[in-house]
Structure 1
């Protein structure tokens, strides 16, 4: 039976928010999301993500809009290691299994779940199909994920490092320097009843 999740993050890196509606079934994921940002300028994006077995990306479609207008991307993986962007083959992505949508915490989920890195020791290096936001450019990105402890994984790419916290389902809870999950309204105290600082 597929498990459905709705997750909202405050994306500090973009000065905005993202909400993802995700369905997990077997070892696959189907999701759609919306995000709004204000850095470097106001923009919004919508996306749909589909993976195959072992959480390998099959298709990512994204639409973005900012002051310069709207643009879209249709990124596809053929299941054998080849990728196309809007129908044009991208040889530099050969061998990649995952997409990585810029500033999107959801796309950290696939490699972590595939290898159980939020639960068990290990370190893996990946080639990702990285998508810039809001420009929607596509380029290869080398990334390393390292298990640090239960639900804690270090992400590294180039000179960037961040120690991420995941939940048991492999979804990001806290991504220092990028995003933090917003608690559902029912789990937050009513406005005006919060304990004062220091209590």
Structure 2
């Protein structure tokens, strides 16, 4: 049993995310999310970091009508191992869906953070790992995250930046997207504009 729990309500579509976690020595989290955005699906995941909040293991299963995909990512000795499985045919429900996983996991060599698509929880990983919830206003960091798309479970390396705007507030940027995130004192997202709010 995990001692803490959070729930977010999606504000862009019908959906939400619920997670139980233990963050006393790094993070261990188990979550479930569902959404009706580009395809109706549910997602179950388990996420582990080391004590410094660098991601070490991420397992996720996504299911919709007539299909199921799974993804497992593990980081050891500075390298990621990525395995996938599929049952049914997501392509029938979502013809443009890419393949799951990543063809060359070595493209993730600089990655320490997993970023699950539209999951407020995973924004906490770089915030806590880099101490941004306690950093001075103006502090800006650049990272590369493993962006895990939903519902396909394709994995992409993605450049991201986080800028501290003030107490409990950071600006998140990736490519042409920007969002100013409100945080709890310990770095969890309370408001993600246009996406979700903490219930």
TM-score range, shorter chain: 0.7 to 0.9
How many residue pairs get matched?
178
User: How many Å apart are 1:78 and its aligned residue?
Assistant: 1.3
Q: Which moved more, 1:6-15 or 1:55-64?
A: 6-15
Q: What residue is the counterpart of 1:123 in the other structure?
A: 140
Q: Is 1:105 matched up with 2:120?
A: yes
User: Which protein has the larger Cα radius of gyration, Structure 1 or Structure 2?
Assistant: 1
Structure 1 spans left out of the alignment, 5+ residues: 183-199
Assess, with a 3 A threshold, how the Cα gap between structure 1 residues 79 and 162 changes in structure 2: closer, same or farther.
farther
Please state whether the residue corresponding to 1:92 is helix, strand or coil.
helix
Q: What residue is the counterpart of 1:185 in the other structure?
A: none
User: How many Å apart are 1:79 and its aligned residue?
Assistant: 4.6
Q: What residue is the counterpart of 2:97 in the other structure?
A: none
- Structure 1's consecutive aligned runs of 4 or more residues displaced over 2 angstroms after TM superposition are 12-15
Structure 2 distance, partners of 1:54, 1:68, is 39
TM-score between the two structures when normalised by the length of structure 1: 0.85
Q: What residue is the counterpart of 1:84 in the other structure?
A: 81
Q: What residue is the counterpart of 2:11 in the other structure?
A: 12
Q: What residue is the counterpart of 2:69 in the other structure?
A: 71
Structure 1 distance, partners of 2:134, 2:192, is 17
Aligned equivalent of 2:192, options 170, 175, 198? 175
Please state whether the residue corresponding to 2:150 is helix, strand or coil.
coil
Structure 2 spans left out of the alignment, 5+ residues: 85-102
Q: What residue is the counterpart of 1:193 in the other structure?
A: none
Cα deviation per residue 1:98-126 (whole Å; 9 max; x = unaligned)?
A: 11111111111111012221222211100
User: How many Å apart are 1:89 and its aligned residue?
Assistant: 5.6
Structure 2 contact 39–151 (Cα < 8 Å) conserved: no
Assess, with a 3 A threshold, how the Cα gap between structure 1 residues 181 and 79 changes in structure 2: closer, same or farther.
farther
- Please give the root-mean-square deviation of Cα atoms over the aligned residues, in Å: 1.6
Q: What residue is the counterpart of 2:44 in the other structure?
A: 46
Structure 1 distance, partners of 2:142, 2:114, is 14
